[in-house]
Amino acid sequence: MLLLDIKEGKDRMSMDPFRMIKVSDLLPVGHVNKAIVYAVNKKKVNTDTKTRSSGRSVYTIMEIIKEEAIFEGFINLDKPLSDKIIKNPIKDLQTLLKSSHAFFVENFKKEKEVLKNLFNISHPAGLLANKKFVDKFKKSVFLVRIGKHSGAEAVTIEGNRRISVRQGKNKEDLILDHSTTFWLAANKPKLDSFENVSPFGWAALELCDM
């Protein structure tokens, strides 16, 4: 039975169109600014104003790469040797990136709405992206979300999400199609205002000539 599982796993891998995509390591261009921040976990629904204002939330301390850092690398899209193996190959990189952009735009819109409704703040990544790339989006620049604390919705597909939500000690986890909290980078663990907070992971992927 174990041998059968291994064989089936190999078969699925050989038919996966995404195995034809090769992404190199990304190397920094020039100096990259970093910072130590508090990663604060907040509920998406404001059920307790007192708790929200006092900032009694779960947090961790971590190092981040600050905004406007630039990294470069390569993306290669290989063609399958046979159409019989990969039934629906990715035709070209532009098509892939436009589809990816559309996915992350929806993720961005939902988070933007949460920030506005819950904290009455504009999305800082959106303000910066529009300032720098508004005329390039879906042409040579594509929205992506990467790294720790990107959120479960950013790494799962709608209609196939099974997100585990912890309910506390001695309680079974809930399995939902959405997350109930999200993470914010802040300069202190207890948030008495939400003016200097920012979600994690948003980046712009720009295609450049070699």
The size of the chain, in residues, is 210
Rg (CA), the chain: 20
CA 141, CA 143: separation in Å to the nearest integer? 7
Collapsing DSSP to helix, strand or coil, 110 comes out as: helix
Which region among 7-11, 37-41, 124-128 has the lowest average model confidence (pLDDT)? 7-11
Amino acid, res. 64: I
SS3 3: helix
Reduced to 3 states (helix: H, G, I; strand: E, B; else coil), residue 104 is helix
For residue range 129-177, what is the model confidence (pLDDT) as tens digits?
A: 888 888 899 899 999 999 889 988 898 888 887 887 777 777 777 778 7
- Contact assessment for residue 111 and residue 105, using Cβ atoms and an 8 Å cutoff: no
- pLDDT tens readout for residues 74-95: 999 988 877 778 888 888 999 9
> Quick one: DSSP state of residue 80?
P
